[in-house]
Structure 1
Amino acid sequence: MPEAVLQIANSWLIWGIAIAIIVIVLIQSLLYIRLSFRAADQIGFPREKCVRGLRAGAISAIGPSIAIFIVMVGMMSVVGGPITWLRLSIIGAAPTELTAATIGAEALGVKFGSADYDLTALATSWWTMTINGTGWLICAALFTHKLEGMREKMGGGDPVWLAIMSGGAMLGCFGFLNSRNIVSGLRELQSGLAGGGGPLYAAIGGVLGMVLMMHLAKKLTWLREYTLGIAMLIGMAVAVILV
């Protein structure tokens, strides 16, 4: 792609816009944390457990962040550092953002990152990534406040059934997301693709890592809040070693 395109994509003006938006996101995050602590105090929830939950979330985010970082390096070389940093800081779904940027370029008949990838294609990729994220915001604004009422109706007010139903929904979501990795890994192995099977190995390694961590956490109670993050790292390590 032309060097002039990257110069504009990495210009100080774009960096300034990206930094301003990310600062707003950080402020929002801090406000949410403060509100959660206030709500915990109102219902008598121990502050120590809030801190532990916050720390567990931060630790669990390490694994996905590493995967995002790998995609981020590739995106930076095409759409620029500031927009890549901005989009992944707001959405965090690296494959989705990369796909949106590619679709935007292909809509103009230009291959993503090719020599024909000019300023018009760059702007189209940026707009596609931005508009692609508005659907989630609209759905969240329109339907989030209704989900709790729907959950109560489906559960019939029984707290035990509500807990089982919520847990089943989470297992279904994660199972659906993970099944694609397992299927793609199996197809890579069946086709004899060199270096294939990585997603499958990562899934198996993650499961075994989680079983191991849960077993250790029974004796080492302080380890419980780190189990998910460590299991993710184990899965990634297994995939790297076997592939």
Structure 2
Amino acid sequence: MGWYLNTAAAPAYMDVANSNWLWISAIPVVSMVLVQAGLFLRRSWKNGKKMGLSDEQLKTGLKTGVISAVGPAIAVLAAMLALIAVVGGPVAWMRLSVIGSVAFELPAAELGVSQLGFGFGDEGITERAFATAVWTMTLGGIGWLIVAAVGTPHMEKARQKIVGGREKLLPIVTSGAMLGAFAYFVSGEVTAGAPETGSLAIGGLVMLSLLKIADENDVQWIREWALGTSMAVGLVVGIGVHMVAGGGW
């Protein structure tokens, strides 16, 4: 009963975090994302027609894209559930609709509240600390948008310059950059505790196993569902380890 009462009692700042005004403020941002998606879809359909693609080919491409989006969408949904617990529904909905990366949003929110001496899970987190977390998430994400807007037209030239005209190195450089970025985010979780380490290890093994099965049998849908499945399995394993062994080693 005591455990139930402790988990049921929401922090005071959650009244602000889930207020109607924040829901109303988040609607225009999410609506803009939906409008952009519609515009890109409409433009790609028209360009496909100009390239000589048939309606059947375009519909097949659309279907493949929708299926491919399911796995990452499940991952984002899981991230949203984690984010809702600390910053409320409206901010989680807005931030993950724009960025979609809990690997950034949660640390950014934690960094914000830490400036006022709090950590998520602490009692007495103030509305000011919550506001600082939201500003940290928002301003921190602006850099990505600016870099994408200014740097995207020059990225291919930079990548070509890095490999010095050796085309075979292009996929290696690109893959290395992605692996380095993910390794940076994961490295902090490896030694955080038994649940994190177990979740990471099992999730990684599931991902590798599914990709191997997909490659050996040439099954596209397994590739599309591999990410969401591995994250779900890793999450369940992490919860199980935490229940059995606690949060430490």
Distance 2:10 2:191 in 1: 37
Distance 1:143 1:97 in 2: 23
Shift of residue 122, structure 1, vs aligned partner: 1.1
**Structure 2: segments with no counterpart, 5+ residues:** 1-8, 242-249
Match status 1:228 vs 2:223: yes
CA deviation profile, 1:167-201 (whole Å, cap 9, x unmatched):
2233223433454688678758xx8x368422122
Shift of residue 238, structure 1, vs aligned partner: 5.4
Distance 1:178 1:61 in 2: 20
Distance 1:24 1:202 in 2: 34
Contact 1:178 1:203 in 2 (8 A): no
What do you get for the CA RMSD once the two structures are aligned? 3.1
CA deviation profile, 1:219-242 (whole Å, cap 9, x unmatched):
xxxx43x23222224534654469
Counterpart amino acid of residue 107 in structure 1 = Q
TM-score (norm 2): 0.76
Q: Tell me what 2:215 maps to.
A: 214
SS of equivalent to 1:61 = helix
Structure 1 counterpart of 2:172, from 141, 164, 168: 168
TM-score (norm 1): 0.78
**Structure 1: segments with no counterpart, 5+ residues:** 218-222
Identity of aligned residues (%): 32
Shift of residue 64, structure 1, vs aligned partner: 3.3
Q: 1:187 to 1:78 in 2, by over 3 A?
A: closer
SS of equivalent to 2:64 = helix
Q: Tell me what 1:75 maps to.
A: 83
Contact 1:37 1:47 in 2 (8 A): no
Contact 1:105 1:124 in 2 (8 A): yes
Which deviates more from structure 2 when the two are superposed, residues 106-115 or residues 92-101? 106-115
Q: Tell me what 1:220 maps to.
A: none
Structure 2 counterpart of 1:22, from 15, 25, 30: 30
Distance 2:177 2:14 in 1: 38
Which deviates more from structure 2 when the two are superposed, residues 13-22 or residues 85-94? 13-22
Q: Tell me what 1:114 maps to.
A: 122
Q: 1:213 to 1:181 in 2, by over 3 A?
A: farther
Distance 2:121 2:188 in 1: 25
